[in-house]
Structure 1
Amino acid sequence: MFHSIKSKFLALCLSSLCVLGLAVGAVSLTALTRATSREEVDNMNRTAELYCSELDLKLVQTEDVVSFAATGLVSGASAGTGALWDGERRARFTAGLDRILRDTLLSLPEARAYYTYYAEELTGGAADGVWYVREDEHSPFRQRQWYKASEFLPENGQELTLYTKSAETGHGHWVEPYYSIAQGKMLISYVMPVYRDGTFLGLVGVDLDFGEILRSLERRPVYETGYAFLADGTGKTHYHIDAPQGVPEDHLGAKLVDKDVSHGATSDTDALGRYRIDGTTYDIATCSLRNGLELLVMAPTHEVQAEARAATLQLVAILIFCLLLFAAITLVLTQRLTRHLQALSSAAREIAHGNLDVKIHAESDDEVGKLAGVLQHTVDSLKETLARLHRLTFNDGLTGILNRLGIDRALENWHAQAQGTPAVLISLDLDDFKFVNDLLGHAAGDEALRALARRLHDFFGRTALVARNGGDEFTVLLPATTAAQAERLLSELTQTPQHYLYGGVERSFTLSIGYVSYPDQAESLRDLTRYADAALYATKLKGKNGFSRYTAEQEQVDRAKLSFSLRDISQNLPGAIIVCSVADGKLLYANDEAFRLLDCTDADDFAAYTQKDVVRILYPGDRTETIASVRSQTSKGEARQAYVRCRVRTKEGAVRYVLAFARKRASAYYGEVYYIVMVEEKEPA
């Protein structure tokens, strides 16, 4: 059935699109369901929180008014004398307090009454107080008959009224909804007892129209047919505008279907409950008010989920449209792809056979054309990578000049074409390079190597082959150069020390060089390399810092002599060897015996203890005298040396006696330095 590339590709694309569409659709629907479910919960909770905050604002305003009045009552009582207040003063205070309460509560539409009851102790035994009531928000407050405050105290013995709880607790208290016979309506009240120094002064309270609060909630929109209502703190009693006295939560036959419609996607406090009432499911969000009541927002589930259903249908329609569109595009692309696949196949075979010069022409801007462009870019990148690998293989990563492999190949190419033309092969290295690394660190050594590579390249010119064999060893080939010409060049090169900059300080080093001439001294590459190496070691045996031409006698040199380096000798002498700067006492070198003398484990431990200052080695009581003695002795005579007995203090705090021999000499690297040898002695008797 599928014999051609076109049919196979078309079948593959269409089946892949179907599978992809189903997978994307399933994932998208799942994600959309979760997202919309969360959005539904958030919308319901936001609605509940908005209405709750508005109602809480009214409750806070009520509490503030009562608290202000209570504060005024305490202040007024504090100003009294004798019977605390006389009637005239109390009347003036009551009138002022009445104006304040009246003016403040006029801005609170639900306020229906406010009252202040004075304790008999405050009035000198006389019954006094105020109680103002209004019918609705448009009516003025009118005074009603008042009662003694003592009637509401627990110790009165009478049946406790709705205000008694506040008197008992000693702080403000919201009274649960109740029906007031005097006012003929459902109210909620905030009552606050007033005390001064433990003495009961009276009560201050405000009544709010509970029915008006329920009506305002009923007017609030919740989707299309939803509504808001109140419940007590347990949620068992519901308050509706049609039943302000409260009805049981199951009065409509409500049955709990799901206590968390998000199934854990939200916190317990944000979870929506789902109930079934008369065959219709409702989602309910709950929010707590500051007076202990609960505000509930309820809407039919199909209204809450209407946006989710619309989004789901829209997503399904988009997926179907995309599948059809992708199928049509696949048909068109299949026609175009098959025209260029053969060309790409031919180019791939050329690349597989190692032909990286192939040119792949992108005849279109579609995926196949882009594939052709990417393949061409890959081939070009591969060519560049191979060239870069070639450079990394034959060039030194630190200096950029040829490495050992590079110079070997370059010498082979030169030797194949030399045909007896005079040339000189040079082998050289940095003198005492190990001291640069040991004293200044490998970063300084690297900078010295880079500086030398630049110097050799600039000095010998572009025709010379300059390479770093490894470490501090370099090789230079001077083609078309005689031995006499090379000697003049090397004489000029070694007349002055080489320089490099490290740590903002210019430092110097010298070179040891050996060279051999072609073809009069050697013809093969093996002999040229060996003879140049022998000449280099001959220079080192003569004291370094110079150059030597190969002679046959140099082959007989016992190189074992060079195995005794300064480090070998210094580490095995029976004494502590220390080198320091004359100018500032900075420590430049110390051997293992010096570490042992001061109870240090290694060079880092030694440097940390001495802070690279030679003075810190000396016992504090001997420092001034010892330094003065050494400076005095080394400033006299040609020997410029000193003998001194002194004490040193170790890292562990021990004091040891030493005989020190110091000699002052000039160093090409560090100026004047002290070479010091210390031998431990027994403590004097």
Structure 2
Amino acid sequence: MKSIQTKFIALILGCVLLSSAVIGGVGIFTAKTVVDEDSARIMNLLCSEKAQEINALLSRIEQSVNTLAVYAVGELDSVESLRTDDAYIDAYTQKIQSVAINAANNTEGALAVYLRFNPDFGKPTSGLFWSKTAQNGNFQEFVPTDFSRYSPEDVEHVGWYYLPVKNGKAIWMEPYQNQNINVEMISYVVPLYVDNVTVGVVGMDINYDVIREIVGSIRVYSSGYAFLTDKQANIMYHPEFPIGTSISSMGSSLRSVADELLNMGGGSYLFSYTMRDEARKLAFCSLQNGMRLGITAPTAEIDAAKNRMILQCVIVLTVFLALSLLLTVLMTRRIIRPLKELNEAAKKIAEGDLSIALTHQTKDEVGMLADSFQQTVNHLQKYINYINGLAYRDGLTGVKNKTAYQETVIRLEEQTRIGRPQFAVVVFDINGLKEINDTNGHDFGDMLIIDACKIICKVFKHSPVYRIGGDEFVVILEDADYQHYNELLVRFQGALEEFNQYARPDGQISVARGIALYEEETDLTFSDVFKRADESMYQNKAIMKRQKAEVKVTDRV
């Protein structure tokens, strides 16, 4: 048979679990969606910002070359002179040369600048070509490429001229290696037209490291990085793969990414793929030179915030369920416990056992019955307390007796075995009590014991005082009293002298005392400490007797 408490718990927990499942599921789903959107926004925003930075560099290079192109066209007096007059060509070239070199010197990353005329005009090497022989060197003049040595279809050697002329617009050439200075370069070339006649081209070779350093410095999350591809989704820069590697050849999951790169995709979402058995996500955008900038990071790092949020939601739900279970149990126990307690109390009373304690009472009929039981328990408790007082209190002085002292000894003995306790034992003994009892009676002696006990308790009010014999007391010093034991002993002597100053001669009190501190190196048990304190007390007693005898001799003299 199920109890009422079990039924209550099942009902409430069922409602709580259902509510938690609905609210928690919606919360986790919402958190996942929000964090995924934020991650995509962070990755795409970073990609866009870095693309703008690279585009700004490309724009400055384009502006420099375009300005040179405008200047070259503006300074050209006659196309016909370029066709027939070699002297004009040389003079025109010299006029453009200083402007071209100045433009190159003021263009970030520029390694070469050139102006080449239509190979159908004049000599096949006509024009100018200035280049650096080292990355940090100065521009030097070189003989321009001889067009007569190459076919117009030879893209590797003269594609830089024929491609922009064929396209009829400025173009960015793909990176290539300059063997002279062993530097990878990227070129921007502008075709020159006058009256729909192709005059030639103006171009600059740019150190590809300028762009590569920007891309290489990009970091996202903990280990994410950036890379570059061309229009055909081939690697142009990657921290791990060589130039020319096809994206689609790096893994089957990257084929869809390669398709997006070819189609100039990208946007507000992330592409998922797997590389070397690691799940990753990718964001990319197009650069104005036709390349694609990609930013990638491990999915585990991107989803770390989401996973933390989901974990937090799970933890909160778990805590909520635990608290709900706890509150449910507490509430049902609060309802059921008075009935259980009354039932158990009735059984004990029927068996003659009155050791019951009703801790939960309600303001109803059950509470009235419980109150009657409680009154009985209260009377019983008072009686037990009275008995305990007799067992642990000294009947004459009211301080703790020898039974209580033995329990304290057991406690301190245990502490000396398992730790390093700090305590001191002070032993007091009333001098001449037997003589006082014989002279004035035991009642008078008891009064002196009580007075001596009051003085001890007054001084050592923060430490337990035990009467372990007729005229012998023990004080156990711990904590603050242990730290100030010397001050307390001086204060005791002062209190004793003050008492004797106002007491009758036969009512004055003489108390011998001795103290010993627990020393870990020498004291194996509490008894060792007590023994030293007791010996110190007897030494003090002997000194006091000797001083008293000396005073009597002096008085007789």
Q: TM-score, normalised by structure 1?
A: 0.41
1:67 Cα offset (Å): 1.0
- Mapped to 1, the partners of 2:43 and 2:156 lie a distance apart of 47
Match of 2:289 among 271, 291, 315: 291
Match of 1:247 among 231, 242, 245: 245
Report the equivalent of 2:31: 32
1:27 Cα offset (Å): 1.3
Match of 1:104 among 103, 106, 110: 106
SS in 2 for 1:55: helix
Report the equivalent of 1:86: 88
Maintained 8 Å contact 1:10/1:334: yes
- Mapped to 2, the partners of 1:257 and 1:129 lie a distance apart of 44
Deviations 1:280-328 (A, max 9, x none): 2222222222222222222222122222111111111122223334455
Write the letter of the residue equivalent to 1:15.
G
Quick check: 1:44 aligned with 2:46?
no
- Mapped to 2, the partners of 1:258 and 1:158 lie a distance apart of 30
Instruction: Specify whether residues 186 and 252 from structure 1 end up closer, same or farther in structure 2 by C-alpha distance, changes over 3 A only.
Output: same
Maintained 8 Å contact 1:74/1:196: yes
- Mapped to 1, the partners of 2:59 and 2:13 lie a distance apart of 66
SS in 1 for 2:169: coil
1:79 Cα offset (Å): 8.0
Alignment of 1:454-603 (within 5 A): none
Report the equivalent of 2:542: none
Q: Can you give the 5+ residue segments of structure 2 that lack an aligned partner in the other structure?
A: 259-264, 337-557
- Mapped to 2, the partners of 1:44 and 1:157 lie a distance apart of 37
Report the equivalent of 1:72: 71
1:165 Cα offset (Å): 0.7
Instruction: Specify whether residues 150 and 55 from structure 1 end up closer, same or farther in structure 2 by C-alpha distance, changes over 3 A only.
Output: farther
Maintained 8 Å contact 1:33/1:308: yes
Maintained 8 Å contact 2:104/2:204: no
- Mapped to 2, the partners of 1:54 and 1:133 lie a distance apart of 26
SS in 2 for 1:283: strand
Maintained 8 Å contact 2:125/2:145: no
Maintained 8 Å contact 2:227/2:294: yes
Instruction: Specify whether residues 151 and 77 from structure 1 end up closer, same or farther in structure 2 by C-alpha distance, changes over 3 A only.
Output: farther
Maintained 8 Å contact 2:125/2:143: no
Maintained 8 Å contact 2:229/2:292: yes
Maintained 8 Å contact 1:113/1:134: no
Write the letter of the residue equivalent to 1:86.
Y
- Mapped to 1, the partners of 2:226 and 2:249 lie a distance apart of 16
Instruction: Specify whether residues 47 and 337 from structure 1 end up closer, same or farther in structure 2 by C-alpha distance, changes over 3 A only.
Output: farther
Report the equivalent of 2:225: 227
- Mapped to 2, the partners of 1:126 and 1:302 lie a distance apart of 58
Alignment of 1:293-372 (within 5 A): 293-328=291-326
SS in 2 for 1:307: helix
1:68 Cα offset (Å): 0.8
Instruction: Specify whether residues 189 and 151 from structure 1 end up closer, same or farther in structure 2 by C-alpha distance, changes over 3 A only.
Output: farther
Report the equivalent of 2:128: 129
Deviations 1:532-571 (A, max 9, x none): xxxxxxxxxxxxxxxxxxxxxxxxxxxxxxxxxxxxxxxx
Report the equivalent of 2:168: 170
Greater relative CO, 1 or 2 (CA 8 Å, sep 6+): 2
SS in 2 for 1:282: strand
- Mapped to 2, the partners of 1:213 and 1:220 lie a distance apart of 11
Greater percentage in helix: 2
SS in 2 for 1:77: coil
Quick check: 1:61 aligned with 2:60?
yes
1:254 Cα offset (Å): 6.0
- Mapped to 1, the partners of 2:155 and 2:183 lie a distance apart of 28
Report the equivalent of 1:22: 21
Maintained 8 Å contact 1:211/1:241: no
Maintained 8 Å contact 1:70/1:192: yes
Report the equivalent of 2:404: none
SS in 2 for 1:203: strand
Report the equivalent of 1:274: 272
Instruction: Specify whether residues 92 and 51 from structure 1 end up closer, same or farther in structure 2 by C-alpha distance, changes over 3 A only.
Output: same
Maintained 8 Å contact 1:77/1:84: no
- Mapped to 1, the partners of 2:92 and 2:178 lie a distance apart of 28
Report the equivalent of 1:552: none
- Mapped to 2, the partners of 1:21 and 1:156 lie a distance apart of 71
SS in 1 for 2:245: strand
SS in 2 for 1:225: coil
Maintained 8 Å contact 1:112/1:208: yes
Write the letter of the residue equivalent to 2:53.
E
1:120 Cα offset (Å): 6.9
Maintained 8 Å contact 1:257/1:275: no
Alignment of 1:112-127 (within 5 A): 112-119=111-118, 127=126
SS in 1 for 2:159: coil
- Mapped to 1, the partners of 2:255 and 2:127 lie a distance apart of 56
- Mapped to 1, the partners of 2:211 and 2:113 lie a distance apart of 17
Alignment of 1:631-646 (within 5 A): none
SS in 2 for 1:223: coil
SS in 2 for 1:217: helix
Deviations 1:377-404 (A, max 9, x none): xxxxxxxxxxxxxxxxxxxxxxxxxxxx
1:179 Cα offset (Å): 2.8
Deviations 1:238-280 (A, max 9, x none): 54356554123355556449869xxxxxx96444333323322
- Mapped to 2, the partners of 1:182 and 1:135 lie a distance apart of 9
Write the letter of the residue equivalent to 1:274.
S
Report the equivalent of 1:196: 194
Write the letter of the residue equivalent to 1:146.
P
Instruction: Specify whether residues 287 and 59 from structure 1 end up closer, same or farther in structure 2 by C-alpha distance, changes over 3 A only.
Output: same
1:336 Cα offset (Å): 10
Write the letter of the residue equivalent to 1:35.
V
**Percent identity at matched positions?**
24
1:77 Cα offset (Å): 0.5
User: Which one is further off, 92-101 or 308-317?
Assistant: 92-101
Alignment of 1:423-442 (within 5 A): none
- Mapped to 1, the partners of 2:250 and 2:120 lie a distance apart of 52
RMSD, aligned α-carbons: 4.1
- Mapped to 1, the partners of 2:124 and 2:222 lie a distance apart of 60
- Mapped to 1, the partners of 2:183 and 2:200 lie a distance apart of 25
- Mapped to 2, the partners of 1:203 and 1:212 lie a distance apart of 24
- Mapped to 1, the partners of 2:167 and 2:41 lie a distance apart of 38
SS in 2 for 1:66: helix
- Mapped to 1, the partners of 2:187 and 2:301 lie a distance apart of 36
